[in-house]
């Protein structure tokens, strides 16, 4: 069986694999409720055109924000990100507390994160670390470890890696405000970026993120390039730095499931993705989890990828904040 974090992240992608925890939410709750009188949410083949368009237009990609050139005349922007989930995805988020899984979570901040931060510092690669607030509250020493070099960014990844799509609007907003404030208190800087737990939005998420004034969002998959988010047909002014499952370590590095792959094979997938981004002059964004990729046999994939990128040359390594500010400026969004 897949670990909790992968199951809950993949549930909207794998509706037919027979896991009961995946068989939920074919239609977001508030959308279903708003259309309940006229349309049956369980029979979308009978929906009217209006209902279908309302569904898909909740959050869409707007204008392409990929700049004509990247800083230093680089051909590609490389954004390495880490979702520092630790104990939150090892039982805390669901209340299924068990000592064994929690020990895996502690490995994330006790061993894996220091190993990864050391590699990023040694290679001088700026990176962004997304934290569920409780992950940082449990081990606040992670913040000075990340901040010491001055290279990196700390951003928000929820309160306790809650399943935000199951929450009412008031609860989701309360938890996100708590998360931002706690992370600021521990890290010493107000975070400007948001990544949704499980990489999904409720019908209320984007409104809350906009209300809170975040600079960028990084949970969705409309494009390979940075773009502006559109909500209900209107441009939001919010930069999306998109993610992708093939650029995430968790689905393929599960040693207890049937999707496990050799880290060196995964490295080649990442290299191929990077090479195409380099050819296109766009962006390469990779998501890793310290408790996953921070193991000895797996960090070799990250080491090999960085070696390849540096050998290729013309690469701009940046935090998500740096990339978001750059594309905003190039697109004239701050004028």
Give the pLDDT of residue 260. Answer: 79
Q: What is the mean pLDDT of residues 161-184?
A: 97
Lowest-confidence region among 33-37, 198-202, 241-245, 304-308:
33-37
297 pLDDT more than 60 = yes
| pLDDT tops 80 at residue 323 | yes
Q: The domain containing residue 309 runs over which residues?
A: 74-330
Domain membership flag for residue 259: yes
**Paired strand residues for 127:** 80
**pLDDT (tens digit, 9 = 90+) per residue, 87-98?**
999 999 999 999
Round to whole Å and give the CA distance between 271 and 309: 8
Q: Is residue 64 part of a domain?
A: no
Please compute the mean of the pLDDT values over residues 193-197 and round it to a whole number. 98
Tell me if 20 is assigned to some domain. Answer: no
pLDDT at 273 over 60: yes
Average pLDDT over residues 271-290: 98
| Model pLDDT, residue 117 | 98
| Token representation of residue 20 | 């009961």
200 vs 221: CA distance, rounded Å: 10
Average pLDDT over residues 53-80: 96
Residue 252 · residue 293 · CB < 8 Å: no
So what's the pLDDT on residue 34?
56
pLDDT of residue 335: 78
Residue 28 pLDDT? 47
Query: Does residue 6 form part of some domain?
Result: no
Which residues contact residue 107 at a Cβ distance below 8 angstroms, ignoring those fewer than 6 apart? 291, 294
Whether 30 is in a domain gets the answer no
pLDDT per residue as tens digits for the range 29-43: 455 455 545 689 899
Tell me what the mean pLDDT of segment 193-210 comes to. Answer: 97
* 292 touches 298 (CB < 8 A): yes
Q: What local confidence, expressed as pLDDT, does residue 10 receive?
A: 42
Two tokens, residue 275: 């090479």
Closest CA to 292 of 226, 233, 248: 248
Rounded mean pLDDT of 132-142? 98
Is residue 148 situated within a structural domain?
yes
- Smallest CA-to-CA distance from 293 within 313, 267, 274 is with 267
Q: Where are the beta strands (DSSP E) in the chain?
A: 59-64, 76-83, 127-131, 153-156, 193-194, 216-217, 227-231, 234-240, 283-288, 315-317
Does 302 have pLDDT greater than 90? yes
Here the CATH number for the domain that contains residue 89 is 3.20.20.370
Q: Report yes or no on 61 lying in a domain.
A: no
CB 229 within 8 A of CB 62: yes
- Asked, for residue 139, whether it belongs to a domain, the answer is yes
- What secondary structure letter does DSSP report for 74? B
Encode pLDDT of 172-181 as tens digits.
Answer: 999 999 999 9
Name the maximum alpha-carbon separation found in the chain.
59
What is the number of domains present in the chain?
1
**Mean pLDDT across the stretch 132-148?**
98
- For position 252, what pLDDT does the model report? 84
Phi first, then psi: what are they for 11, rounded to 5°? -60, -30
Beta bridge partners of 207: none
The pLDDT value recorded for residue 38 is: 67
């Amino acid at each position: 069986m897949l670990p909790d974090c992968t199951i809950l992240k993949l549930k909207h992608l794998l509706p037919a694999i027979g896991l009961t925890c995946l068989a939920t939410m074919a239609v977001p709750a508030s959308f279903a409720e708003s259309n309940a009188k006229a349309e049956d949410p369980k029979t979308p083949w009978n929906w009217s055109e209006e209902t279908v368009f309302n569904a898909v237009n909740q959050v869409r990609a707007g204008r392409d924000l990929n700049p004509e050139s990247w800083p230093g005349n680089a051909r590609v922007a490389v954004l390495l990100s880490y979702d520092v989930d630790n104990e939150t995805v090892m039982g805390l988020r669901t209340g299924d507390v068990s000592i064994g899984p929690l020990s895996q979570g502690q490995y994330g901040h006790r061993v894996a994160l220091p190993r990864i931060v050391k590699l990023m510092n040694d290679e001088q690669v700026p990176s962004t670390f997304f934290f569920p607030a409780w992950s940082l509250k449990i081990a606040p020493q992670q913040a000075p470890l990340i901040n010491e070099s001055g290279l990196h960014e700390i951003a928000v990844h929820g309160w306790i890696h809650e399943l935000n799509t199951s929450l009412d609007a008031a609860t989701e907003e309360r938890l996100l405000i708590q998360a931002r404030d706690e992370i600021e208190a521990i890290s010493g800087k107000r975070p400007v970026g948001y990544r949704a737990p499980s990489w999904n939005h409720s019908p209320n998420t984007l409104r809350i993120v906009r209300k809170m004034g975040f600079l960028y969002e990084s949970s969705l998959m409309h494009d390979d390039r940075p773009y502006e988010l559109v909500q209900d047909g209107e441009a939001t002014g919010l930069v999306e730095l998109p993610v992708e499952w093939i650029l995430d370590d968790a689905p393929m590095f599960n040693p207890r499931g049937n999707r496990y792959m050799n880290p060196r094979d995964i490295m080649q997938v990442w290299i191929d993705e990077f090479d195409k981004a380099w050819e296109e002059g766009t962006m390469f964004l990779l998501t890793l989890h310290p408790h996953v990729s921070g193991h000895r046999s797996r960090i070799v994939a990250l080491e090999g990828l960085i070696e390849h990128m540096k050998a290729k040359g013309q690469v701009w390594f940046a935090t998500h904040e740096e990339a978001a500010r750059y594309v905003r400026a190039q697109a004239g969004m701050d004028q």
